[in-house]
Chains A and B, each alone.
Chain A
């Protein structure tokens, strides 16, 4: 604690000073106004301050190439800042004003609200099959505030007013929700100055009522005219980084399908051996990719977590086969488990690769703040410390305890939903043909995959037009 504000410090000789101001506020606090946290945070970070319009703020930050940004997730909102120490004195008052004296300019509010609506209507629903499936799956898996899309709904955004945003900021972006992180060339003086200023934020006096949605189907088929079919599969798990089983499950999912890496079972068998698509991955916790890298975003910490599988777009005619192949592999994983070699390899990979997740100051700081959220003592260090002692037995036991085949839900984004639904319900084999001869093991296994039982009841498989998603 410094000046009454909880702090995390990772100081070094870097001439760049990095800040992460983390609030325990996210889309679960949207209440009856879906999207309000994301819109409010964007308005604060980019909509100007009491003394500077949005345009003036851009112009002031520009010669310094200094950054002010914000990231909103289900339970956390983090304002990030970076500046070269040459410019700290000019930068800091502006960065502080973003939180302490945001402008709440009506024009900026209208602009960002329109952008948020367009983001749902004209991007997520139509041009981003990958994230659409993931967002739909999260919505299916959690019937309350946790399932809502962080960006909100079309109707929720359209009904929002500037006063709603002002009130939301005052109520939730408060000092009791805040942990302030400092990295790089931050000095005692800087930290003292920043925490003193942040201590003037109000204290939260509100509670949010939960919203509960209708139960969702087991299989949701979303029709959006996609040129290929993407599949997301998963279920909620009662497990996060602060549980003993998490690290074994994390290593297990790495062996089953590490995000954007070759070598995982799913990748190996769906893409490498069969050429079905570009990649196939599995996750032990909520995962959002950092733009332009394959690394996980930091501060996507959540108290409710999901296990999930992501099958990247496949040709429509291979959709049934790919879906069955993913389920076949999962079933096999649960029955036969991973081998010691697979666990050793995944462990070795995470041991080395995880060091890159914390190569930059701002990311290292994010992990330290996630540790505060989970109450862990250095998650990445703990991951690496446990790896040498992990055996296939331990990893398989964790997988079997937490991954439940019968609880899976599936979101599919495709063109002809009815046809796919019929095929799922009919249950007849859906064999595949290849343009080239395949190895013996593939030829022998394919009929088993093609006939893998799906066992869904008609009422469990629902087709919806994309326009119904994230609308209300």
Chain B
């Protein structure tokens, strides 16, 4: 299957938005070539601020620029944008409720060889607790473009989480992103697999493996993590025998936690949260890391069968 670059889709979409909307300002902190904001920067040097290695200043400044009526995109790696500058995101962006879009790239184990210092496994957990913040993780290049267009057109803070690597093409060009609505990629009556971002393609693979063993697994792309699509979540909790969540993130505070927090209060459901278990990442290729930490189709199959055997 064709793989497409998520970051290229981001850079290209920003450029197109910049051509249409003169009110968009883009910021980066010396990672413009990595995040691909450089594409916008080359054409709109006046509206592009590479602030250098000053992430705190970048995020508060983004708030200040936005307070004059601009829409500001600020990018860095997720580990810095959500972790290093958590307080600036909290106070300058969310408390002020300004039109700032934090577009983080290089989340989780997908970072690969740079190792743990650059692998954000806590960013969803951190961002999710902030009032006014909304979180989206697109699952392919097309969805990335639609998501970037969506956040540009809707006021207020967003955190968009983009993976470093290329991902399978899932959606065709007619795909319409619906904010706050899960995208059901595959129906299924036995078990529901909820995945985000780079884990969606692996989950699709897992569903095919399960099919060979006559297990009918639904696959749901939960690209909007906050607010959670409660309706779809509840429907699958009721119509299947269990739920598995899969994310390139800590098992604490991410997608799985969101689902569990909701279901445990309205419809307690057998669940398995697949993610990184209370550990830091390490160096290695992304694929080897996914194997090392158990974020693979085989693991999903194993956990699915375990839930079904016990239910």
A binds B: no
Residues of A participating in the B interface, judged by any CB pair closer than 8 Å = none
Residues of B participating in the A interface, judged by any CB pair closer than 8 Å = none
